[in-house]
């Protein structure tokens, strides 16, 4: 049974889906923060949130259970993504479900500003019939500047064109050709837009580039009397500049739905003439909430039950078909990682991976992550999986190089690993027999064929009569049964390698006895998972 926590208010339709999901139980606990949030998160496999809860690095500290956080909405700025990645937690969002509602809210605020809707109603509440005081402006024929032409920005532009506005747009990722087709006049810089616009609306994330996009300097060039709207993220407009702009008359109006710190009930703009503000309501419609809640539940349950990853913001997507078709090789890669960790327990400086044959047409980056997860798993006191393994390896200064060669070599597909440590190298390669039988097919330059699971002994020795028999006898004396044996050598009488698959792990005494045998140069005991012992991200 997987456990899910819902951390912010979620539409009932989403909760109903959680209720009906087989193998999932859930709890709704909102308003969590600090120690209480951290402790609570350790009891769940998955979490669903909106913008309310702040999932900081502190909140994830020491968490060994949580596997996924799904944001029922777009912005994931309330989740510390580097911390989540480090902890091996997938962060996903539902990017499209609230697009139209947020675009409509931006248009609603633009019209509310233009027609003084909020102060006019307030005056009625206060008992005045002030028809002369609230002269408005018509939007038709006016110019709207849209910064950020993604999902919401484009939906706003389309609606503004429907209101007979001229639309200027700025987005470094929009092509001139596409903008033209949509009826948007693309500008090259925000500054180029500012002297021309009557209204401006922003629809970008808050980034180093978009923070303070409108500041004191921009007020100098903006068309006097412009009205600014922000339904994206607080901080894109500098609020102090907005206050100054309104006071000096450079700006005729400001409409905000979002604030640098939320919740926000105390803001210098609140109450100023020409201002209309809402408490982060862009996505707050029944339609948007139903859509993001049901999609969030779908994403999380699919991940928890099949490992499928969609709309992730901190890791590559992984659809169930790819996962299923790659599972066998993910297993080979993970086992080679585990084997490498035993063979080279310290001093590792670089891993070179070579994929050969048909496998090169698959997502080998995933296989590399699986290898890295196997390599690090035993060394770390934190969960390692496809999300964080490569990052963990890099942060330990271990170089990871991936190469592909579509030539098949001896197998339809294979994967070779070269480990470098202090001037020495060790090499292994593996393949998959059938759909689910990982095999070790070489050690250093020696070809052989051994099971890649359970307890193993890998020993280098001189290729002389009686050496292998002596290993068997020694293990026999220590009660270790040999299930399978493989030997590889390059030249008769030269260096050879033996790989034994054992029914149980040899004791330290048995290992010492084998190492003491004549003509044995190295002997390494390796313990790989048996079927049924795989980590959850690999088990399926
Ligand atoms: N008020 C509310 O309740 C809601 C707010 N939002 C916020 O709205 C924003 C936009 O959401 P979507 O349109 O869904 O995202 P999106 O990812 O579809 O679009 C963002 C666009 O911004 C552009 N962009 C990035 N940096 C830029 C820069 N420096 N200058 C100009 N353009 C830049 C990107 O190229 C992209 O086209 C997000 O910050 C999101 O969190 C989203 C939904 C509801
Ligand atoms: O989706 C977004 O980015 C939003 O800002 C909506 O936030 P909410 O889910 O209403 O807390």
Residues 163-182 have pLDDT tens digits of 999 999 999 889 999 999 99
Query: What does the DSSP assignment read for 212-248?
Result: TSB-HHHHHHSPTTEEEEE-S-TTSB-HHHHHHHHHH
287-313 per-position pLDDT tens digit:
999 999 999 999 999 999 988 999 999
Mean pLDDT of 488-493: 90
Is the pLDDT at 237 greater than 70, yes or no? yes
Output the residue whose Cα is nearest ligand 1's atom 8: 232
Residue 76 Cβ < 6 Å to ligand 1:
no
3-state DSSP helix/strand/coil % of the chain, to nearest 5: 35, 25, 40
- Regarding pTM above 0.90, the answer is no
| pLDDT at position 381 | 74
Mean pLDDT of 192-208: 97
Residue 4 Cβ < 6 Å to ligand 2:
no
99-139 per-position pLDDT tens digit:
999 999 999 999 999 999 999 999 999 999 999 999 999 99
* CA separation for the pair 333, 522 (Å, rounded): 24
Is the pLDDT at 334 greater than 90, yes or no? yes
Which ligand sits closest to the CA of 72? 2
| pLDDT at position 200 | 98
ipTM above 0.95, yes or no: yes
Query: What does the DSSP assignment read for 501-532?
Result: EESSPPPHHHHHHHHTSTTEEEEEEEE-PPTT
The dihedral built from the CA positions of residue 223, 229, 235 and 239, taken in this order, carries a sign that is: positive
Residue 488 Cβ < 6 Å to ligand 1:
no
Which positions are annotated as active-site residues? 233, 262, 280
Q: Are 487 and 458 in contact (CB under 8 A)?
A: no
Q: Which helix (H) or strand (E) holds 28?
A: strand 24-28
**Structure token digits, residue 55:** 């999932």
Q: Which of 203, 196, 104 minimizes the C-alpha distance to 149?
A: 203
**Structure token digits, residue 107:** 């248009």
Pocket test for ligand 2, best of 94, 202, 260, 280 (most atoms within 8 A of CB): 280
Q: Are 338 and 375 in contact (CB under 8 A)?
A: yes
Residue 51 Cβ < 6 Å to ligand 2:
yes
Pocket test for ligand 1, best of 71, 78, 148 (most atoms within 8 A of CB): 148
> Ligand 2 centroid to 283 CA: how many Å?
6
Domains (range + CATH), the chain: 2-96+287-306 (3.40.50.720), 117-273 (3.40.50.720), 316-425 (3.30.1330.90), 444-528 (3.30.70.260)
> Ligand 1 centroid to 14 CA: how many Å?
24
Q: Are 410 and 441 in contact (CB under 8 A)?
A: yes
422-435 per-position pLDDT tens digit:
889 999 999 999 88
Mean pLDDT of 278-282: 98
For residue 281, which atom of ligand 2 is closest to its CA?
A: 10
For residue 51, which atom of ligand 2 is closest to its CA?
A: 11
Is the pLDDT at 322 greater than 90, yes or no? no
For residue 173, which atom of ligand 1 is closest to its CA?
A: 35
Is the pLDDT at 379 greater than 90, yes or no? no
| pLDDT at position 250 | 97
27-85 per-position pLDDT tens digit:
999 999 999 999 999 999 999 999 999 999 999 999 999 999 999 999 999 999 999 99
Pocket test for ligand 1, best of 104, 205, 236 (most atoms within 8 A of CB): 205
* CA separation for the pair 42, 60 (Å, rounded): 8
Q: Which of 233, 155, 275 minimizes the C-alpha distance to 167?
A: 155
* CA separation for the pair 113, 213 (Å, rounded): 21
Q: What counts of helices (H) and strands (E) characterise the chain?
A: 18, 22
Contacts of 221 (CB under 8 A, 6+ apart): 191, 194, 195
| pLDDT at position 540 | 64
| Percent of the chain clearing pLDDT 70 (strictly above) | 100
Q: What is the distance of C-alpha 184 from the center of its chain?
A: 33
């Amino acid at each position: 049974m997987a456990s899910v926590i819902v951390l912010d208010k979620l539409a009932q339709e989403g909760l109903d889906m959680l209720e009906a999901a087989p193998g999932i139980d859930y709890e709704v606990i909102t308003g969590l923060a600090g120690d209480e949030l951290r402790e609570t998160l350790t009891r769940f496999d998955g979490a669903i949130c909106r913008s309310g809860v702040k999932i900081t690095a502190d909140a994830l500290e020491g968490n060994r259970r949580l596997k996924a956080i799904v944001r029922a909405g777009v912005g994931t700025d309330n989740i510390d993504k580097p911390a989540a990645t480090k902890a091996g937690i997938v962060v996903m969002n539902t990017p499209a479900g609230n697009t139209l509602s947020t675009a409509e809210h931006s248009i609603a605020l633009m019209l509310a500003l233009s027609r003084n809707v909020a102060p006019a109603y307030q005056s009625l509440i206060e008992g005045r019939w002030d028809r002369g005081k609230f002269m408005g402006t018509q939007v038709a024929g006016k110019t709207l500047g849209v910064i950020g032409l993604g999902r919401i920005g484009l939906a706003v532009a389309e609606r503004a064109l429907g209101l007979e506005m001229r639309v200027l747009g700025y987005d470094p990722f929009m092509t001139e050709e596409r903008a033209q087709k949509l009826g948007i006049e693309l500008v090259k810089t925000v500054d180029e837009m500012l002297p021309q616009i009557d209204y401006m609306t922003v629809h970008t994330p808050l980034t180093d580039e978009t923070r303070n996009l409108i500041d004191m300097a921009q007020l100098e060039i903006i068309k006097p009397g412009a009205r600014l709207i922000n339904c994206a993220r607080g901080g894109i407009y500098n609020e102090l500049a907005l206050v100054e702009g309104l006071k000096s008359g450079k700006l005729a109006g400001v409409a905000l739905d979002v604030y640098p710190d939320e919740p926000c009930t105390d803001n210098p703009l609140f109450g100023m003439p020409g201002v209309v503000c809402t408490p982060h309501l862009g996505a707050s419609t029944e339609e948007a909430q139903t859509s993001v809640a049901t999609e969030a539940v779908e994403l999380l349950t699919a991940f928890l039950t099949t490992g499928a990853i969609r709309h992730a913001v901190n890791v590559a997507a992984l659809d169930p078909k790819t996962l299923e078709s790659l599972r066998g090789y993910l297993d080979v890669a993970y086992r080679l990682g585990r084997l490498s960790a035993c063979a080279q327990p310290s001093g590792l400086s670089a891993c070179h991976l070579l994929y050969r044959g048909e496998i090169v047409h698959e997502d080998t980056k995933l296989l590399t992550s699986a290898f890295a997860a196997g390599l690090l798993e035993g060394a770390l006191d934190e969960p390692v999986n496809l999300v964080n393994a490569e990052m963990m390896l890099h942060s330990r200064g271990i170089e990871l190089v991936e190469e592909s060669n579509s030539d098949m070599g001896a197998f339809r597909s294979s994967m070779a690993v070269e480990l470098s440590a202090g001037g020495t190298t060790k090499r292994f390669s593996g393949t998959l027999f059938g759909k689910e039988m990982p095999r070790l097919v070489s050690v250093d330059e020696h070809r052989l064929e051994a099971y890649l699971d359970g307890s193993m002994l890998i020993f280098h020795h001189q290729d002389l009569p009686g050496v292998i028999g002596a290993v068997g006898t020694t293990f026999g004396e220590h009660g270790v049964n040999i299930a399978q044996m493989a030997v590889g050598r390059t030249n008769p009488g030269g260096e050879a390698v033996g790989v034994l698959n054992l029914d149980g792990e040899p004791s330290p005494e048995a290992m010492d006895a084998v190492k003491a045998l004549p003509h044995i140069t190295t002997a390494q005991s390796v313990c790989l998972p048996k079927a049924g012992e795989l980590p959850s991200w690999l088990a399926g």
